[in-house]
Amino acid sequence: MPKKSKSKFEKLEKQVAKFNEEEIEIPDKLPAIAMRSNVVVYPNTVMPFYVGREKSLYALEEAMENYNQLLFVVSQKDPVIENPKEKDLYKIGTVVRIMQIGKLPDGTFKVLVEGLVRAKRKKSLEKRFFKFELEILKKRYQRTKRLIALMRVVRDEMQKYVQFSRKIPTEALMFLEDMEDPDVFADLAASICPGTLEEKQELLETLHPAERLEKILALISKETELLEIEHQLDQKVKQRIEKSQKEYFLREKLRVIREELGGEEDAEIKELREKIEKGDYPDYVKEKAVFELNRFEKMSPYSPEANVIRNYLDWILNLPWNDETEDNLDIKNARKVLNKEHYGLDEAKERILEFLAVRKLSTSQKAPILCFVGPPGVGKTSLGRSIANALGRKFLRMSLGGLRDEAEIRGHRRTYVGALPGRIIQLIRKAGVKNPVILLDEVDKMGISFQGDPASALLEVLDPEQNKDFVDLYLELPFDLSDVLFVTTANTLYNIPIALKDRMEIIEIPSYTNVEKFYIAKDYIIPKVLSELGNAKSKIRFRKEAIKKVISDYTLEAGVRELERKVRTIVRKAALELVESKNSIIITNKKVEEFLGAPRIKNEDKLQEPTVGVATGLAWTPYGGSTLFVETILYPGKGNLLITGQLGDVMKESAKLALSLTRKICGNSFSEKFSQNDIHVHVPEGAVPKDGPSAGVTLVTSLVSAVKETPVDNNIAMTGEITLRGRILPVGGIKEKVLAAYRKGIKKIILPKQNESDIKKVPEYILEEIELVFVENIEEVLEVALSGENK
């Protein structure tokens, strides 16, 4: 601001006090100041504020020199704006009279003003600073009984507010006590009333005192209610602190009195000490428990560490360090239990019976770590429960799917808040014995994160040589897990770390054949589902052909979960029909279609006739075996190879290898065909990812067929890895692949010679209906697979 203006302000500062207080006529044009603090000046109130912006100083100077100390103050809509425009201001403000001006050290001015009357800005008259043409706002009203009652209610509510509020002194009420003018009373109450800038501006814009008092009452009541709740919370906290201090003082006093009278122990400590002395614990556990109990006795019961020690003692004194159940070693009973609850699964059952036989001869035999690997729904988890039933042991299950925190296995150290032992120790405590059967489900689906690798933590748990002294980080004491029979389950082996896999005995549980599914449905699933109907179970019967239809036309899975769901659907619909008709229901093929709709399995079984360039391959998936077609066509081009069908890297390499081997097999007589055509190899069901080397034989057969234009026998399926020399290497999943071919109605299968021993796992009735051809090189494959004159 110019020096000249500053000197004028110094003079004006001295002249302010000389103005008399006689009533001044308010002009219709006044300079204005934009208020950017969360303050609204009301008529009939005195309010200080600070002026520092250049525009505001010019307006202040104009008011002092030319407008008899009168000024128009109006609030900004957004206090953050440094240089507001006319659109940034509210329409309604207050005409004030300047009572005092004081200059501060930082160059700003402190101005004390008295609110006179509400006014509405109409037109801007100046560019250097705000100056508006004004419309004075006055509201005529009558002093009614309702208005007087409102004043009383607001006065009472204001007293409550001042009582609870720590921001407003009680002296503020003195102005309201003797005020009889409703308009002045409402303005004074509004100046004390809490609220946002928008709420305060709304009070300023409300002209009738009755309406203003109603809004003030709503704001004050709301704020008083909140302050009252805060006060009650403060009182509760204060009472609790006082109670805690009082209890601490009394307990300390009682402890000293007991020491003086002979050192009588606290009842809880006495109970813990007796439990340690009488309990069947190893010596190192007793020693640790006594040490922790002595620490606990010396601590204040309100110390955080005391609660940690109390929980720790609770854990170590309630673990079954020496308690165990006696094994039922009756081989006949075990065989009966296993056969009653599961059909098939001969290898898994035989291994359990072997364990029982050895355990019967020698009690020093360590429990094996079994890992059941197979597709979903084949009975891996339920087989673990059957093992517990056969042995007469308690059964517990822990799901490892998605587990990423190592502490879930090893536990947390006691230094962490809310620390607990790992899930293994928690399950042992829940069982109450040290030799339960613990099923670790989905061991192939654990993850790794910044919290550690739980698969590595399992290495100690699942090693018979190490788990005798398993140390949980919370207990910090060795616990013997060697008597626990751990059973793990997995869908695939390749996701399990090698070190962990090496500690387990792998037992593969293959997918079920349709015949096995039939007996499982007839002897296990249907009786179980019908038993849930109570006495009505005898009124619903399944025909054999109906069961077979459900299996063949409505389910396509390795296990029997979907089969059970379909059976339950049929039984539910039959139950509804039974309730309505009250007649016995026999489930036939017609009823199956009526209840389940049209058959769902509509996959192409096999090629209807020999086709050029199309060979049938066999694949293994985690959900069982399946067939796939490899299609090859040639079209004019430059000898490029195009591969589609969402194939993985290994399968793409097999296709390239197959093309090179095909060139060699076809010889020079077909060289022009390779150079003048592009080759497109496609594996249908393009949305399904496919990978692995076992399609090598199928790829070569399809390529040779397309190049030589010789059809491939549609009754033949094949599998095997191919080498660049044309040798056939063995592959996995032979049983699942043979079952898949059998389901599709294929009569002949080409298999690697080295997989001949795997055929022992295939049921005899399937081998009687399928011809198996074992080959060692690609020439033998083509001799069998290609039909026609030009092989």
Report phi then psi at 187, rounded to 5: -70, -40
Contact 374, 509 (CB under 8 A): yes
Residue 375, both tokens: 């597709």
- Is 366 marked active-site? no
Out of 55, 501, 566, 737, pick the active-site residue: 737
List b or e across 625-635, with b for residues whose CB sees 16 or more CB atoms inside 10 angstroms. bbbbbbbbbbe
**Could you give the dihedral angle defined by the CA atoms of residues 667, 672, 673 and 674, in that order, rounded to the nearest 10 degrees?**
70
392 is in an annotated binding site: no
Q: Is 379 known to sit in a ligand binding site?
A: yes
Q: What is the rounded CA–CA span in Å between residue 149 and residue 141?
A: 15
Residues 6+ apart with CB under 8 A from 74: 32, 33, 34, 35, 89, 90, 91, 92, 93, 94, 121
737 is catalytic: yes
Q: What is the dihedral of CA 209, 211, 217, 218, to 10 degrees?
A: -160
The answer on whether 87 is annotated among ligand-binding residues is no
Distance CA 791, CA 781 (A): 11
The reply, when asked if residue 381 is annotated as ligand binding, is yes
- Catalogue the E-assigned strands of 329-451: 370-373, 395-399, 437-441
Label residue 159 exposed, middle or buried (CB < 10 Å: 0-12, 13-18, 19+). Answer: middle
Query: Is residue 93 annotated as involved in ligand binding?
Result: no
Residue 191 CB partners (closer than 8 Å, separation 6+): 42, 45, 47
- Identify the DSSP state of 695: T
Cβ–Cβ under 8 Å, residues 227 and 161 = yes
Residue type, 613: G
3-state SS track over 479-537? ECCCCCEEEEEECCCCCCCHHHHHCCEEEECCCCCHHHHHHHHHHHHHHHHHHCCHHHH
- Round to whole Å and give the CA distance between 160 and 170: 10
CB proximity list for 503: less than 8 A, separation 6 or greater: 369, 459, 462, 463
Hey, which bits of 650-778 come out as E strands?
A: 677-682, 711-712, 716-718, 721-722, 728-729, 748-752, 771-775
**Cα end-to-end distance, the chain, whole Å:** 105
Residue from 56, 694, 702, 705 carrying the catalytic annotation: 694
**Helix, strand or coil for residue 272?**
helix
User: Pairing between strand 70-75 and 92-103?
Assistant: antiparallel
Q: CA 529 to CA 535: how far, in whole Å? A: 13
Q: In which residue are the tokens 């006065």 written?
A: 155
Q: Does the annotation list 224 as a binding residue?
A: no
Is 243 annotated in some ligand binding site?
no
Tell me how far apart the alpha carbons of residues 218 and 596 are, in angstroms, rounded to a whole number: 65
Give the tokens for residue 611: 């086709």
Q: Is 422 annotated as a binding residue?
A: no
Annotated binding site for ATP: 374-381
Annotated binding site: 374-381
Catalytic residues: 694, 737
